Chain A
Amino acid sequence: MGKTLFEKIWDTHIVQEVTDGPSVLYIDKHFIHEVTSPQAFKGIEDRGISIFRPAQIVATADHNVPTQNQHLPISDALSRFQVDTLIANCKKHGIELYGLGHEHQGIVHVIGPELGVTQPGMTIVCGDSHTSTHGAFGTIAFGIGTSEVEMVFASQCLLQTKPKQMRINIEGTLGKGVVSKDIILYIIAKISASGATGYFVEYAGLAVRALSMEARMTICNMSIEMGARGGLIAPDQTTFDYLKGRTFAPASAAWDTSLAYWQTLYSDPDAAFDIELTIDAATIEPMITYGTNPGLGIGITKNVPTTAGMQDEGERKNLEKALQYMGLTAGQSLIGMPVQHVFIGSCTNSRIEDLRLVADLVKGKTKNPNVQVMIVPGSQKVAKQVVKEGLDIIFSAAGFEIRQAGCSACLGMNEDKVPAGEYCVSTSNRNFEGRQGAGARTLLASPLTAAASAITGVITDVRTLL
């Protein structure tokens, strides 16, 4: 029987099988950041051992950095100490750091791909659940905890149990105003926030093949939001064209060797999956979430569900609690509801293509005066490109504020927060209670839907503006 894409990569990275236990899995690339690494560095030092393969680690500061005045010392003392600790640890252990002020700095899942560090066939980990983003290149990439960061520091390996495998085929063509964020929000709404727990998910089908690399990253990024360890997409010409010429991509003869290998990375026709789903892209509308987990989403023209007919007591209670937190009523439409904030950024949607989509829509328009709009580019490179293409002029004219690179209001760790009780249409990945600030009410959507709502001041079906 043939192998899946996942199995091809997994099998070539197994150092050893442990009897009645997990396998020793070799890790090619390890990304680290300031929040989930300090305890792992300390652990290594307490054990009196050194970092096994520092050259395979790439560090950046993203989660806990300000998005204004990055040239000045960080004003929050705890944040400053955490970022300084990363700088000291990287220096001490000989790890490449793209910290504040470095031209490569940015959100870890934006910079890995844009620098060409992320390459097909690799195993990649990071102490961040959205590491699944890198799967868009045909990699096994997943988020780990800090103890596991320490394990990779110590041995460049992890003990892992082979996950089950799911394939989701997205066939057909996307409608006008529907983008990759809508595909993944649709899938999560369909199978729930825990529907893929225990699985690695391969996304396939003609609609996926037609997507750019950046659009594919958005899909893989949110795999964790349905519980999956990771998501991946077989590399193809789109992948190879994206990688060619990137800073750390192989060049000349090494490129040819790598390409020959990358071209073998696909699921064989007779490979077996534990679960397989097929979705028709044409049925997907622009999506928006109404609840407090990413699975509580609807097509924008649909109404918020009611508890009528719900058999499961837990499910009914969850919905009631979510609607209460969100200040919404069962059965209502979201279209036309006033919003106070729009956040365009995060490892899900802060790449140049996302910002081009937004710029195309808002060109010549201005935001509604009752909405605060913040655009946070995913990296210094993206920020530079925004200026190069003159998008900053469009954004400024529209009244959108452009910040400096970082995770920002996606997780409310720095000062970029949404006040309690206020609504934010956000291109990020989580709408959990308090995620964007205590009491904040997050509605997840695509960059297009976010931009449309910024202009009108109310939740808007972007298709009415196209």
Chain B
Amino acid sequence: MNKINKIHSRFVPLQEENVDTDQIIPARFLKATTRDGFGKNLFRDWRYSNDNELEPKQDFILNNASFSGEILVAGKNFGCGSSREHAAWAIKDYGFLVVVSSFFADIFKNNALNNGLLPITVSDSFLVSIFALGKEATLSVCLENQTITMDATGAVETFEINVYKKTCLLNGYDDIDYLLSNKAAIENFEKKQSVSKL
């Protein structure tokens, strides 16, 4: 997994709440057997009319050339619905490294963390302030200090992240490395369980 720590970038403001994973990547694009290439179908039905790449919907934020960057900022309850990890893959594959919202759905958050995509939960008021920033504005994220800063105003907020997950992201470790290092404990547990069931 990629390491992640400091990101300084412009951002794409997606001012929608309850963005579900069916919008992030519709089911008809889940037929792949690899993790690659989902970015081109990110927000497919919000992005294009008639499922046609030649007909971009001008009012959708990803089609607005004034906005770009490695940070996606969205309304509350981002990533609700289906557990499809393809949603995290699509966001990452499109080029985002961070998603900011005031509230994340559980499974999406785990999927993001497992893919080196940093979900940052900010307060409602901080989110409103980010949305109020201009097109050229930038955000600075420091995972090590757990801070997100609006560079224009210097306003900074600290965010929560599990210490273990933070270590994983900073070092590019994944859970499987950890679990595999605990095989003996798992096997012991299984032995005890089978005895207790006799």
Interfacial residues, chain A to chain B (CB-CB below 8 A): 12, 15-16, 18, 20-22, 24, 26, 35-36, 38-39, 42-43, 47, 49, 52, 63-64, 76, 78-79, 81-82, 85, 127-129, 143-148, 150-151, 154-159, 161, 193-194, 197-198, 224, 227, 229, 257, 261, 293, 314-315, 317-318, 321, 411-413, 430, 432-435, 438
B180 to A154, Cβ gap below 8 A? yes
Q: Which residues of A contact B106 (CB under 8 A)?
A: 197-198, 227, 229
CB-defined interface of B149-175 with A at 8 Å, one 1/0 digit per residue? 000000000000011110000000011
Q: Does B133 sit within 8 A of A, measured CB to CB?
A: no
Q: Does B185 sit within 8 A of A, measured CB to CB?
A: yes
A147 to B193, Cβ gap below 8 A? no
A39 to B35, Cβ gap below 8 A? yes
Q: Which residues of B contact A317 (CB under 8 A)?
A: 17
Contact A438 B114, CB 8 Å, known A147-B174, A413-B27, A432-B81: no
Contact A36 B84, CB 8 Å, known A155-B186, A194-B76: yes
Contact A35 B88, CB 8 Å, known A293-B80, A430-B81: no
B85 to A18, Cβ gap below 8 A? no
B165 to A15, Cβ gap below 8 A? no
Query: How far, in Å, is A14 (CB) from chain B's closest CB?
Result: 9
The residue from B18, B34, B162 contacting A194, defined by CB atoms under 8 A apart: B18
B83 to A20, Cβ gap below 8 A? no
A147 to B80, Cβ gap below 8 A? no
Residue from B18, B30, B178, B185 with most neighbouring chain A CB atoms (10 Å): B18
Q: Which residues of B contact A35 (CB under 8 A)?
A: 30-31, 84
Nearest 4 pairs of A and B residues by beta carbon: A21-B164, A145-B85, A38-B33, A147-B114
B30 to A413, Cβ gap below 8 A? yes
Query: How far, in Å, is A41 (CB) from chain B's closest CB?
Result: 9
Q: Does B70 sit within 8 A of A, measured CB to CB?
A: no
Query: Can you list 19 A-B contacts (CB < 8 A)?
Result: A20-B164, A35-B31, A38-B34, A64-B30, A85-B33, A127-B85, A128-B83, A129-B83, A145-B110, A155-B179, A157-B179, A159-B178, A159-B179, A224-B81, A430-B20, A432-B20, A432-B22, A434-B26, A438-B45
A85 and B182 CA atoms in complex are apart in Å by 30
The residue from A49, A159, A161 contacting B175, defined by CB atoms under 8 A apart: A159
Contact A82 B31, CB 8 Å, known A157-B186, A434-B45: yes
A150 and B174 CA atoms in complex are apart in Å by 11
B18 to A293, Cβ gap below 8 A? yes
B162 to A193, Cβ gap below 8 A? no
Q: Which residues of A contact B60 (CB under 8 A)?
A: none
A84 and B164 CA atoms in complex are apart in Å by 38
Contact A15 B83, CB 8 Å, known A24-B179, A159-B164, A198-B106: no
Contact A39 B33, CB 8 Å, known A154-B176, A432-B20: yes
Query: How far, in Å, is A250 (CB) from chain B's closest CB?
Result: 10
Contact A194 B80, CB 8 Å, known A22-B162, A154-B179, A159-B178: yes
CB-defined interface of B84-98 with A at 8 Å, one 1/0 digit per residue? 111010000000000
A24 to B76, Cβ gap below 8 A? no
Q: A20-B162, A20-B164, A293-B80 are in contact. List 17 more A-B contacts (CB 8 A).
A: A15-B186, A16-B185, A26-B190, A26-B193, A52-B186, A129-B81, A146-B86, A151-B176, A156-B190, A157-B186, A293-B18, A314-B17, A314-B75, A412-B26, A412-B27, A430-B81, A434-B45
Q: Does B23 sit within 8 A of A, measured CB to CB?
A: yes
Residue from B27, B174, B182 with most neighbouring chain A CB atoms (10 Å): B27
A150 and B178 CA atoms in complex are apart in Å by 13
Q: Which residues of B contact A42 (CB under 8 A)?
A: 33-34
A151 to B22, Cβ gap below 8 A? no
User: Please, which residue of chain B has its CB at the minimum distance from the CB of A142?
Assistant: B107
* B:33-72 near A, CB below 8 Å: 33-35, 45, 51
A194 to B26, Cβ gap below 8 A? no
Q: Which residues of A contact B190 (CB under 8 A)?
A: 26, 156
Q: Which residues of A contact B186 (CB under 8 A)?
A: 15, 24, 26, 52, 155-157
B83 to A434, Cβ gap below 8 A? no
A158 and B107 CA atoms in complex are apart in Å by 13
B85 to A129, Cβ gap below 8 A? no
Q: Which residues of A contact B138 (CB under 8 A)?
A: none
User: Please, which residue of chain B has its CB at the minimum distance from the CB of A198?
Assistant: B106
A47 to B77, Cβ gap below 8 A? no
Query: How far, in Å, is A166 (CB) from chain B's closest CB?
Result: 14
A21 to B85, Cβ gap below 8 A? no
B45 to A151, Cβ gap below 8 A? no
Q: Does B115 sit within 8 A of A, measured CB to CB?
A: yes
Query: How far, in Å, is B20 (CB) from chain A's closest CB?
Result: 5
Q: Which residues of B contact A261 (CB under 8 A)?
A: 197
User: Please, which residue of chain B has its CB at the minimum distance from the CB of A293?
Assistant: B18
A145 to B23, Cβ gap below 8 A? no
Contact A227 B180, CB 8 Å, known A147-B114, A438-B45: no
User: Please, which residue of chain B has its CB at the minimum distance from the CB of A257?
Assistant: B197
B34 to A433, Cβ gap below 8 A? no
Q: Which residues of A contact B77 (CB under 8 A)?
A: 193-194, 197, 227
A387 and B190 CA atoms in complex are apart in Å by 43
Query: How far, in Å, is B184 (CB) from chain A's closest CB?
Result: 10
A79 and B182 CA atoms in complex are apart in Å by 37
Query: How far, in Å, is A3 (CB) from chain B's closest CB?
Result: 17
Contact A293 B20, CB 8 Å, known A157-B179, A194-B103: yes
The residue from B26, B31, B179 contacting A64, defined by CB atoms under 8 A apart: B31
B176 to A155, Cβ gap below 8 A? yes
A19 and B100 CA atoms in complex are apart in Å by 27
Q: Which residues of A contact B22 (CB under 8 A)?
A: 411, 430, 432-435
CB-defined interface of B1-45 with A at 8 Å, one 1/0 digit per residue? 000000000000000111010110011101111110000000001
